[in-house]
Chains A and B, each alone.
Chain A
């Protein structure tokens, strides 16, 4: 069978909506279009019922005690904002210290920057060279002013999965709240808010085969009951935590996506992991100096972040333009700075510039993996043939000993 191009291998950026999700959403656009906040007629009741059902399904996926702990938002960026700003504001008399890591998503980092301007103190933990935040790092950073720790479940670039259960044990013991931006890991690696003592977590539908524009914030209701100050003023929806008319079709789709994850997740993940390993072994067998960034052991099944030494990431992406991937190369961003996540691992800027992130998912096939592996091997050869660094490496010159003229 001929392979269909372009190939999508960027499942960390977003995912296609599962057809089963779309099917369940459709009636809520025109047939059951009521406002879930309308208490006076059946249109409203039908919508509210659908929303509550979705809430239950999402609560179940993360093992929340009650569906009332799910607050719908526009996506994980908003969830992160409410969690951090809302907690900081509510608990400001208790303390002003927040602990997070340098490899968090910008939705966390930039929110922390804002909070610093407003008087909060933030500790940014640096991960190990494997890309992991160790529980002791968190324990050592906690002071009597600490109110919140925010550590992601899985990293969006290198796919490393953080030891949340061990971190949760520490935060619970010290009476500090634990928030996790869980968007990349939900349904892909074990996640259980009770077992891990997570008090708040951000989720989004579009990373798990649901629609864009709908997310949720889990807010624990007991032991401890988490309080926060709403960041959006209005009709007091979502138990006063997030005003705004609910996106009912989106919520219905989110719920269905969660239910599918519950049902098929384990099977899906095993298949995706096998494909990822097939891709990795082929690439590393066919290309010398192809180095995986981040822990192989604690990693999302669908993530492969790999640096092809002596080849620049954007040139690589251009050479494989029929394959959608992403790179930590500076050239892919407007800032001209390479990936801050890879830099935090200490892999060196030149390796960050050479990194490619492959993201595999529900519809990745073995044929696609084989096609991509062969293409990448071929193009790395091609690009190395025109790389002065590769020639120097082959001539036995230590690139670190060269006096480069930085510009």
Chain B
């Protein structure tokens, strides 16, 4: 199986690996996938008062393409407004990483992870304001 240079680069030097405090009210956590399917992504965002994602971290159990997709996702969303991050499509990741058809689900998972983290952040915020 040949990987694109970008996948190899991200998999070998993943950006933003780590953990944010999931109990922090400004942190949203998304956990998607399942071990039995061979990939699990956890993506976390910390959003400041202006609605900007000031930090993003991930941990991924999955193949090189899954690791690369989540690494790229954190790189892209950092510094973006939540609404902008929400607009990222899996097809953008496919294009950027040159993913072959069998790896498209990795990009779908990364999009799901972003959306799931944002949903968690919003739910927390709503709960706090309520």
Contact = CB atoms under 8 A, between A and B. Distances in A.
A388 B60 contact: yes
Count chain B CB atoms within 10 A of each CB in A348, A353, A387, A388 and give the residue with the most: A388
Contacts of B61: 310-312, 387-390
A6 to B, nearest CB: 15
B36 interface: yes
A405 B34 contact: yes
B25 interface: no
Interface string B24-35: 000000011111
B40 interface: yes
B38 A353 contact: yes
Interface residues of A, number: 30
Interface string B2-39: 01000010010010010100000000000111111111
B57 to A, nearest CB: 10
A371 to B, nearest CB: 19
The contact size tier of chain B is 20 to 34
B38 A389 contact: no
Nearest to B11: A318
24 contacts: A312-B61, A312-B62, A312-B63, A315-B67, A318-B3, A330-B38, A336-B105, A349-B35, A350-B38, A353-B36, A386-B67, A387-B59, A387-B61, A388-B40, A390-B61, A391-B19, A391-B59, A404-B34, A404-B35, A406-B33, A406-B34, A407-B32, A407-B37, A407-B112
Interface of A: 310-312, 314-315, 318-319, 329-332, 334, 336, 338, 348-350, 353, 385-391, 399, 404-407
Interface of B: 1, 3, 8, 11, 14, 17, 19, 31-42, 58-67, 102, 105, 108-109, 112
